[in-house]
Amino acid sequence: MRNKGISGFGVIFMIILLLTIGYIAYQIGQVHFTYGTINEKVDHAIAIGYTMTNSEIMDHLIKEARKANVELNPDSIFIDRTILDSLRIYVAYDDSSKIFGFLTYNRHLVIDKIQQIKIRF
């Protein structure tokens, strides 16, 4: 009776295949994890933004994005205070990840948040 198990070459091939898939998933996921981090920073900025000027909000977001290895420039941040009793922050940026040095995963990401300013007496 012959054993119909997987051969040593098959095991090595499966390990290499799983490692390759894991590496690709990590590189793609990194862009989306960074988006989540920037999204949290925008949430924080919009929560405290009514106490800051537009330039202070921009500086804060640029500094926080730099910590997450994302370069934002002031032209990609739009702050709108014209909506009645609300603050809107719009951030657009491009992020990419290199896969094996020759493939590039590019994404144009947009964060658009509006929050009503709550005044307590």
Query: Contact at 8 Å (CB) between 81 and 87?
Result: yes
pLDDT value at position 21? 95
Query: Nearest 5°: CA angle at 72, between 107 and 49?
Result: 115
Q: What is the pLDDT along the chain (121 residues), one digit of tens a residue?
A: 566 667 778 889 999 999 999 999 999 999 999 999 999 999 998 888 888 888 999 999 999 999 988 888 889 999 988 888 888 999 999 988 888 888 888 889 999 998 887 766 6
> pTM of the entire structure?
0.77
Domain ranges of the chain: 8-116
Q: Please name which of 78, 84, 89 lies closest in space to residue 112, comparing C-alpha atoms.
A: 89
Q: How far apart are CA 104 and CA 96, in angstroms?
A: 7
**What distance in Å separates the CA atoms of residue 94 and residue 75, rounded to the nearest whole number?**
13
Q: Are 116 and 86 in contact (CB under 8 A)?
A: yes
